[in-house]
Amino acid sequence: MGRDQRGQILNQGLLQPERARPARPANTDGLAPGELYMEADQLVRDDKAGVTTAEGDVEIRYQGRTLRADRLVYERAAAAAGAPPAGSQAPAQGVIRAYGHVQVIHDDGTVEYADQLTLDDKMQAGVALGFSARLAQDVKLAGASAVRRSDEIQELNKAIYTPCPICIGDAPKTPTWSISADRVVQDKARHIIYYRHARIHVLGVPVLYLPVFWHVDPSTKRGSGLLAPRIGVSRRRGISYEQPYLLVLSPSADLTISPQINQKANPLLNGQYRQRFNSGAIDLRFGYTHEADLDGSGNRFGDNTSRSYILGQGAFQPADHWLLGFTAERTSDALIFDKYDIGRVYQARGPYVADDRRLISQVYAIRQDEQSYVSSAAFSIQGLRPGDNNRTFPTVGPLVDARYDIPAEILGGRLRLTGSAVALTRDQSPTSPLLRLPGLDSRRVSGDLNWRSVFTATGGLRVEPFVDARVDGYSLGDVLTGVGAGATSKTFSRAVAVAGADISYPLFRRWHDATVVLEPLAQVALSPKAAQVTIGRDAAGKPVYLNEDSIALEFDETTLFRANKFPGFDLYEDGLRLNVAGRASVMWDDGRRASLLVGRSFRDRANTVFSPRSGLSARSSDWIIAGDAQPVKGFSLFARARLDADTLEVHRLEAGANVSSKWGSGYVRYLDDDQGINGVKVRNADVGGDLNLTRHWGVSAYGNRDLIQNAWVIRDVGVFYKDECIRVDVFYRHEDIIVGRLGASDQLSLRLTLATLGGPIYGR
């Protein structure tokens, strides 16, 4: 028997003195493959019996694992199992027995604890008493005993699982939620934790029993299983339960199947397929049901038929500077998203975006570098609003935009070349839907040259001269010449140009603990009279201009200093005009700020191309006012308005405020517009936010009120509870929106999110 001190190496089950150790490779623990390092306050080795005993701060390191204990006994393979039978090929294994405050620390950061632990000399398989473990995401797993079959399989008896805190300081605490079971199996190869006779506890009270239950190991990023369900009650569908199931197909692809079971309506099967490629990704959402029409109360009428939708997108970068993509948005039932409460429908999935309650399908190719940009696209639109006729919406394609910046300075400034082309085809005229007249087809090609330079004087005066010249060519088909007169074709070409300068003279001054900036702004622009593309005359005999791309024109602080205020190509602003404004800003050293802009536009003659509602048709435009401020940290407000040039009557006002603090966050918005984009007066208010009543409890609310109808369009109110490992939301929604035959609706929803189980789970 021999006695050694700290610093010994066990290699292949044998103690070797320090001098016999082979050269160490350069790795984190300094051990060669197969080496095992042991240290302790005292080591006792019985060479004859093949037993090594270590006591006092024992530590063993082997292949990325560290074992610590108060006392440890190591038996070599021959001593632990006896000599193998003659002819046997199975290698005998040594045994490690650890006692008192046992810890096993893995290279992934997880830690296992036990009162007593027996392991093989590879530290892969063993048995533990009084076992517990701390996994990823601070998950705790404990059991009366544990059996480790291998590196990948571990079984626990009389076990409990929870991600919640189990103590406050040194005092024990009942976890917010936990799962207890007679038997728990952690399968690291499949990234799954299995339970037998599982009981889910909330605040220590059992609320659900499942004979078999499993969920994804919290150490894995993705795994197949159920996602958090959606539970709701509505007048349209009655009680509704939607349960998504995530199926991981590969490291780069997954499929989510989400059936929605309803009391008053047939089930709806939702799905989502996602896949990443080396050069891009696709994301496809879809849904299908076989159902009759439903009214707002869930009453069926008509025949059962297939109803479906698809919301897809994809984008790829096959080479540097290139982007190819598509979106696919279509539905066979214009009301399916409202009937089944499908969210995230009307959002940007590609470079071209449709209006609310309209879907757009497109393909596009974009190439962009530091000096040039070119894109080509084609798209079509499906309208879901009451009264929409899809035959009146144009099919657009191709739509080409190109830009090139000359790398060298030209006359001391930047020269940009721009090209554009588009073709629009309609089946039916939108102006006479009842007559079903053919729709206007148009094709346009444009080329533009834009030069701009900047000159700054030593006193701070800044002058930016610019010149822009453009040529357009049009080919029009199915141009209506009058009722009963049929349609004709025409071509048209023109040249338009503008020259001018932007002028500003900012004045700075320090005032106490703030910086004050006063900035007069001006733009002078001159254009020859522009020929507009005429496609007919109205009932009063006035010309009707082609206008495919400048319908949404809003005169505000963002367009005040645009030389051509029309956003598209079809209409062009001409004549001599002067745009002026004054801007004042105050910026305090502690982060507070405030700014105000007041401006308007003047021209040498009235311009009837602008509609009267725009505020730009007269020689003197409406007044533009815009301001924003942050008077204290966490609170900001803004307002922008357009006032009548003569009476100062408010034609458009948009204002809002935002607040954020430790108690919650909220916002309010107000809009008053004489004529919205559809020519109808708009006046509404939006308000919403969260309020934290206590550390864990809070309320949330959202509302949109139509101030003209004096009715709430939509109202949400909810209560939530949250802590480190759970969030419960209960919210009520009432909609007064009348879409088609659906009418108003009420809905009560419950959303439960458990830490580590808010993602994939499964049980039966």
Q: What is the pTM of this model?
A: 0.79
Q: Which residues of 427-439 are buried (b: 16+ CB within 10 A; e: fewer)?
A: bbbeeeeeeebbb
> Do the bridges between strand 42-46 and strand 35-39 make them parallel or antiparallel, or are there none, so unpaired?
unpaired
In contact, 365 and 417? CB cutoff 8 Å = no
Q: Which contiguous run of DSSP H or E holds residue 733?
A: strand 726-735
347: left (phi over 0), alpha (psi -120 to 50) or beta: beta
Report yes or no on 304 lying in a domain: yes
Query: Which of these, 605, 517, 519, 515, lies nearest to 561 by C-alpha position?
Result: 519
Residue 32, amino acid: A
> What is the count of structural domains for the chain?
3
For position 684, what pLDDT does the model report?
A: 94
Is the domain of 417 the same as that of 348? no
What percent of the chain has pLDDT above 90? Answer: 55
- Average pLDDT for 130-135: 87
247: left (phi over 0), alpha (psi -120 to 50) or beta: beta
- Average pLDDT for 732-748: 73
In contact, 698 and 664? CB cutoff 8 Å = yes
Is the domain of 382 the same as that of 395? no
For position 91, what pLDDT does the model report?
A: 46
Domain carrying residue 369:
222-386
Angstrom CA distances, 288 to 235, 269, 272, 332, 343, stand at 21, 5, 12, 10, 15
For position 90, what pLDDT does the model report?
A: 43
pLDDT tens digits, one per residue of 275-306: 999 999 999 999 999 999 887 777 888 889 99
For position 281, what pLDDT does the model report?
A: 96
Contacts of 744 (CB under 8 A, 6+ apart): 296, 734, 735, 736, 737, 738
In whole angstroms, what is the distance from residue 474 CA to residue 496 CA? 14
Q: How many CB atoms lie within 10 A of CB 198?
A: 23
For position 16, what pLDDT does the model report?
A: 32
In whole angstroms, what is the distance from residue 556 CA to residue 618 CA? 16
Query: Which of these, 707, 658, 659, lies nearest to 685 by C-alpha position?
Result: 707
Cis peptide before 211 (omega within 30 of 0): no
More confidently predicted of 481 and 336: 336
Is the domain of 456 the same as that of 522? yes
pLDDT tens digits, one per residue of 563-613: 999 999 999 999 999 999 999 999 999 999 999 999 999 999 999 899 888
Judged by average pLDDT, the poorest of 59-68, 336-345, 372-381 is 59-68
In whole angstroms, what is the distance from residue 271 CA to residue 244 CA? 8
Angstrom CA distances, 120 to 55, 77, 123, 534, stand at 19, 9, 5, 90
- Average pLDDT for 716-724: 88
Is the domain of 441 the same as that of 362? no
For position 468, what pLDDT does the model report?
A: 97
Is the domain of 416 the same as that of 373? no
Query: Which of these, 150, 203, 217, lies nearest to 174 by C-alpha position?
Result: 203
Report yes or no on 718 lying in a domain: no
Residue 177's pLDDT band (boundaries 50, 70, 90)?
confident
pLDDT score of 729 more than 50: yes
Report yes or no on 161 lying in a domain: no
Q: What DSSP string describes 406-456?
A: -SS-BTTBEEEEEEEEEEEE-SS-SS-TTTTPPPPEEEEEEEEEEEE--EE
Answer with the one of 595, 623, 641 that is the final residue of a domain. Answer: 641
Angstrom CA distances, 195 to 178, 185, 311, stand at 12, 7, 37
Residue 200, amino acid: I
In whole angstroms, what is the distance from residue 580 CA to residue 60 CA? 79
**Is residue 90 exposed (0-12), middle (13-18) or buried (19+ Cβ within 10 Å)?**
exposed
For the chain, what's the residue count? Answer: 764
Report yes or no on 46 lying in a domain: yes
Is the domain of 413 the same as that of 372? no
pLDDT, the chain, mean: 86
| SS3 assignment, position 19 | helix
Sign of the dihedral defined by the CA atoms of residues 546, 549, 554, 557, in that order: negative
Report yes or no on 185 lying in a domain: no
Is the domain of 284 the same as that of 351? yes
In contact, 732 and 716? CB cutoff 8 Å = yes
Judged by average pLDDT, the poorest of 19-23, 337-341, 747-751 is 19-23
pLDDT score of 28 more than 60: no
pLDDT tens digits, one per residue of 139-172: 888 999 999 887 788 899 999 988 888 877 777 8
Answer with the one of 613, 641, 669 that is the final residue of a domain. Answer: 641
In whole angstroms, what is the distance from residue 516 CA to residue 585 CA? 6
In contact, 188 and 141? CB cutoff 8 Å = no
In contact, 68 and 62? CB cutoff 8 Å = no
- Average pLDDT for 254-265: 94
In whole angstroms, what is the distance from residue 47 CA to residue 13 CA? 12
Sign of the dihedral defined by the CA atoms of residues 617, 618, 619, 625, in that order: negative
For position 737, what pLDDT does the model report?
A: 63
pLDDT score of 73 more than 80: yes
Residue 18's pLDDT band (boundaries 50, 70, 90)?
very low
Is the domain of 339 the same as that of 360? yes
Answer with the one of 600, 626, 641 that is the final residue of a domain. Answer: 641
Residue 245, amino acid: Y
Is the domain of 351 the same as that of 422? no
- Average pLDDT for 378-385: 94
Residue 485's pLDDT band (boundaries 50, 70, 90)?
low
- Average pLDDT for 201-214: 85
pLDDT score of 763 more than 50: no
In contact, 239 and 263? CB cutoff 8 Å = yes
For position 482, what pLDDT does the model report?
A: 63
Report yes or no on 758 lying in a domain: no
**Residue written as tokens 């409202």?**
338
For position 738, what pLDDT does the model report?
A: 58
Is the domain of 324 the same as that of 407? no
CATH classification at residue 30: 2.60.450.10
For position 1, what pLDDT does the model report?
A: 35
Sign of the dihedral defined by the CA atoms of residues 665, 671, 677, 678, in that order: positive
pLDDT score of 726 more than 70: yes
Q: Give me 267's structure tokens.
A: 């089930």
Strand ranges, E, within 555-649: 575-588, 593-603, 623-632, 635-643
Report yes or no on 676 lying in a domain: no
For position 645, what pLDDT does the model report?
A: 94
In contact, 98 and 119? CB cutoff 8 Å = yes
Is the domain of 413 the same as that of 431? yes
For position 741, what pLDDT does the model report?
A: 58
Strand partners, 329: 311
Q: Which contiguous run of DSSP H or E holds residue 591?
A: none
Q: How many CB atoms lie within 10 A of CB 521?
A: 19
Sign of the dihedral defined by the CA atoms of residues 426, 429, 430, 433, in that order: negative
pLDDT score of 398 more than 60: yes
Phi, psi of 510 (to 5 degrees): -85, 135
Q: Give me 137's structure tokens.
A: 């995401």
Query: Which of these, 340, 309, 346, 357, lies nearest to 230 by C-alpha position?
Result: 340
Report yes or no on 355 lying in a domain: yes
pLDDT score of 24 more than 60: no
More confidently predicted of 121 and 158: 158
- Average pLDDT for 694-702: 92
In whole angstroms, what is the distance from residue 65 CA to residue 448 CA? 68
- Average pLDDT for 433-454: 89
Is the domain of 522 the same as that of 377? no
